[in-house]
Amino acid sequence: MWDYTEKVKDHFMNPRNVGEIENPDGFGEVGSLACGDALRLTFKLDEDRRIKDVKFKTFGCASAIASSSALTEMVKGKTLEEAEKISNRDIADYLGGLPEEKMHCSVMGREALAAAIASYRGEKVEKEEFEVICKCFGITDKEIERAVKENNLHTVEQVTHYTKAGGGCESCHPKIEAIIDKVWGEKETKPVLVKPAKGEKLTNIQRMRLIEETLEREIKPALRQDGGDLELIDIEGSKVFVALRGTCSFCPSADFTLKQYVEAKLREFVADDLSVEVKE
Amino acid sequence: MKTIYVDNNATTQVAPEVFEAMKPFLQDVYGNPSSMHFKGGEAQEAMVDAREKVAAVVGASPDEIVFTSCGTESDNAAILGTLESHPEKRHIISTRVEHPAVWTLCKHLEKKGYRVTMLSVDREGRLDLDELRATISDDTALVSIMYANNETGVIFPIEEIGQIVKSRAIPFHTDAVQVVGKIPLDMRKSTVDMLSFSGHKLHAPKGIGVLYIRKGTKFSPFLIGGHQEKGRRGGTENIPYIVGLGKACELAARHLEEENNKARSLRDKLEGGLLERIPDTLVNGDREHRLPNTVSVSFEYVEGESILLMLSNLGICASSGSACTSGSLEPSHVLRAMGIPFTAAHGSIRFSLSIYNTEEDIDYILEQLPPIIERLREISPFWRDYIKASSKK
């Protein structure tokens, strides 16, 4: 059984503001029957452009109904600018927390609100360039990115709990992982160039630059910790020629390091067919 | 608040007679049946007696009964034990509606390099035996097909399947967890080589399972250790639970017919009453070939978890195939395999009865459930749309 707070139970058993406003100022609908939950939110503004009346209809589990009910209570009397600031986290907090697996219910609340406000302003809901990442639940890269940033998510499982993405056939898990890496990797130094996907090719110049960058960023710092170093001498096709420097030049395990570390890193970051050889 | 427990395919209450039978074995009779002294002898004697009773309920001989810790262990032991005995064969046949104890294991084996055929079912949850005939081959190490489905109660034609499988001399396992104690079984006249069941589905406690292994079936132990269970399962025998299971099987065998008729008539009353009182309600699964105690119904345009929690507040315990109840995000793999539309799959509720249910229980559910569905439909954005659309037609 889910561990719902008393407040969730209360908002589920006695939902506030159920219904649909006739001729609403704002109308937002998210989710679908297929997804297993859906929320339709309608509101009317007063003369000060504050939300005077707001109603919801929800198809979904107890936490979906409770999140919708909580949202309507939270936005009442607020201006749209104030209401817009409500995050899914705020909805969950209002309810005294939601089980991790149910956080997507609070995300659905925030999305319905955003859609309703956008409809009032006559905007289309942000139809920026997007890619559907999770085909099972129709979740886009933008939605995943936003949830990752707003809720400080670091694993695919967390993303599934918050957005449902990846909860079906699981084939999109690598893509979700890439989005997480992208969001959090922005802080770290990331290569300007990245290893191309299968079937794509780097130009010779790009390839050389990428090898250089990888040596500088991934390989040399580690060697230098042990007093070693290496120097890039030449690149011929898939052969990378280096010279060993520092302690590496007389290290008995240098061959091992060269193959197991240097070559492995280059293959990881640049191309699978690279090999490393020593040239003095 | 009174409790109306109609979730007996999940687990059952321990019969008072079972509890009484177990008590001495949790107190004074604590011996290890392998011991040479009289305390060991006491335990040994009780185990022999229990094994006979357990064997009797499925028409087996006592030495074909292996005690395990649960249904899942029995399934794992049967499947992995058979594969180990036939290492040259790399193909497994099962179904898309198996319990996770078999389903997840098959998926795991697929990742390990086995070729797995999951037979499909139709809208009523029935198998197409021609698909089995077409996929079975000399490379098939094992066919594992459940006797009856836990969610819908649909019973598969196990003997007909068994004849196909045995005509190719391939080992045949069935997960009969939902069946033992509910419909009569006789392994002497059966084509089944291995049959799994579990104590807590027939009023014994959780923590005891059985694997029936037909004499002469090639099998390698899954739990490797001592000589217990004739070398087919290591580990000191769980005497109190074995005794409890023996008692539960004795009760089940004695009351099978009478209980069945009672459960069936209560189930039919519940099913009929719900269909009559709640519009847009469907029964999931083949009603002709179904366990007497089970009904899966779908209430369109509402979601199962919400229904369950509202029922639970009134003391009624049922279960759902909805996504939200399982912790996964998709509705039950069984309903999906049957092609039940999403509008209905999310709002599916399973009621599974036992001998302890009464007419009053059913009346209470029939009184309480319609207003719950009505209320949730009022909250659902799709219900009005649907009503509007259908009134226009």
B46-60: pLDDT as tens digits: 999 999 999 999 999
Q: Cβ contact (<8 Å) for A33 and B324?
A: no
A265-280: pLDDT as tens digits: 888 888 888 899 888 6
Instruction: Please say whether the beta carbons of B114 and B91 come within 8 A.
Output: yes
Q: What proportions of chain A, in percent to the nearest 5, are helix, strand and coil?
A: 45, 20, 35
Q: Please give the C-alpha separations between residue B220 and each of A82, A262, B80, B111, in angstroms, as whole numbers.
A: 67, 47, 8, 22
What global pTM score does this model have? 0.79
Q: How far is CA B336 from the centre of its chain?
A: 18
> Which one of B11, B303, B319 would you mutate to disrupt binding with A, by most A Cβ within 10 Å of its Cβ?
B303
Q: Which is higher by pLDDT, A236 or B38? A: B38
pLDDT at A205 over 70: yes
First to last CA, chain B: 45
Chain A CA closest to residue B342: A34
C-alpha B134/C-alpha B101 separation (Å) is: 25
Check residue B328 and give its pLDDT.
Answer: 60
Instruction: Give contacts of B331 with chain A, Cβ < 8 Å.
Output: 36
CA distance A70 to chain B (A): 14
Q: What proportions of chain B, in percent to the nearest 5, are helix, strand and coil?
A: 45, 15, 40
Instruction: Average the pLDDT over each of A80-94, A187-201, B10-24, B330-344 and give the range with the smallest value.
Output: A187-201
How many residues in chain A? 280
- The vertex-B206 CA angle with B202 and B208, nearest 5°, equals 85
CA distance A168 to chain B (A): 6
B118-165: pLDDT as tens digits: 999 999 999 999 999 999 999 999 999 999 999 999 999 999 999 999
A105 is catalytic: yes
Q: Strand, helix or coil at B75?
A: helix
> Which one of A57, A58, A61, A135 would you mutate to disrupt binding with B, by most B Cβ within 10 Å of its Cβ?
A61
Q: Which two tokens stand for residue B98?
A: 């198996």
Instruction: Please say whether the beta carbons of B58 and B66 come within 8 A.
Output: no
Contacting B with CB below 8 Å, chain A residues are: 2, 12-13, 15, 18, 20, 29, 33-34, 36-40, 57-62, 64-65, 101-102, 136-137, 160, 164, 167-168
A35 is catalytic: yes
**Is the minimum CB–CB distance between B329 and chain A shorter than 8 Å?**
yes
Check residue A187 and give its pLDDT.
Answer: 53
Check residue A131 and give its pLDDT.
Answer: 81
Instruction: Give contacts of B384 with chain A, Cβ < 8 Å.
Output: 20, 57
Whose CA is closest to B181, among B286, B255, B261, B98? B255
A221-245: pLDDT as tens digits: 888 877 788 888 888 888 999 988 8
pLDDT at A191 over 60: no
B185-195: pLDDT as tens digits: 999 999 999 99
Chain B CA closest to residue A55: B379
Kind plus residue range of the DSSP H or E element containing B297: strand B294-299
| Average pLDDT, integer, range B2-8 | 95
**Is the minimum CB–CB distance between B332 and chain A shorter than 8 Å?**
no
Give the number of other Cβ atoms within 10 Å of residue B167's Cβ.
11
A9-25: pLDDT as tens digits: 999 999 999 999 999 99
Pick A59's closest partner by Cβ from B309, B313, B382. Answer: B382
Query: Mean of the per-residue pLDDT values for chain B?
Result: 94
Check residue A223 and give its pLDDT.
Answer: 83
Q: Cβ contact (<8 Å) for B302 and A59?
A: yes
Check residue A149 and give its pLDDT.
Answer: 87
Q: Please give the C-alpha separations between residue B376 and each of A57, B1, B263, B380, in angstroms, as whole numbers.
A: 10, 23, 29, 6
Q: Which two tokens stand for residue B29?
A: 């009779």
DSSP string, B310-323: HHHHTTEE-EE--H
Q: How far is CA A24 from the centre of its chain?
A: 33
Across A112-126, A190-204, B307-321, which has the greatest mean pLDDT?
A: B307-321
| Average pLDDT, integer, range A77-89 | 93
Instruction: Please say whether the beta carbons of A161 and A152 come within 8 A.
Output: no
Q: Cβ contact (<8 Å) for A101 and B327?
A: yes
> Which one of A41, A56, A59 would you mutate to disrupt binding with B, by most B Cβ within 10 Å of its Cβ?
A59
* Non-local CB neighbours of B111 within 8 Å, separated by 6+ positions: none
Q: Strand, helix or coil at B200?
A: helix
pLDDT at A134 over 50: yes
Pick A167's closest partner by Cβ from B301, B322, B330. Answer: B330
Strand partners, B351: B295
Helices (H), A14-155: 62-75, 80-84, 88-94, 103-120, 141-151
Check residue B52 and give its pLDDT.
Answer: 98
Check residue A279 and give its pLDDT.
Answer: 82
| Average pLDDT, integer, range B20-41 | 96
Give the number of other Cβ atoms within 10 Å of residue B12's Cβ.
23
Check residue A189 and give its pLDDT.
Answer: 47
Strands (E), chain A: 26-32, 37-45, 51-59, 132-134, 139-140, 228-236, 239-246, 275-278
Q: Cβ contact (<8 Å) for B330 and A34?
A: no
Instruction: Average the pLDDT over each of A110-119, B56-65, B336-345 and give the range with the smallest value.
Output: B336-345
Check residue B373 and give its pLDDT.
Answer: 97
> Which of the following is catalytic: A35, A134, A172, A248?
A35
Instruction: Give contacts of A62 with chain B, Cβ < 8 Å.
Output: 305-306, 309
B84-102: pLDDT as tens digits: 999 999 999 999 999 999 9
Q: How far is CA A261 from the centre of its chain?
A: 31
Instruction: Give contacts of A168 with chain B, Cβ < 8 Å.
Output: 329-330
Q: Cβ contact (<8 Å) for B303 and A59?
A: yes
C-alpha B378/C-alpha B302 separation (Å) is: 9
Check residue B264 and give its pLDDT.
Answer: 95
Q: Cβ contact (<8 Å) for B380 and A59?
A: yes
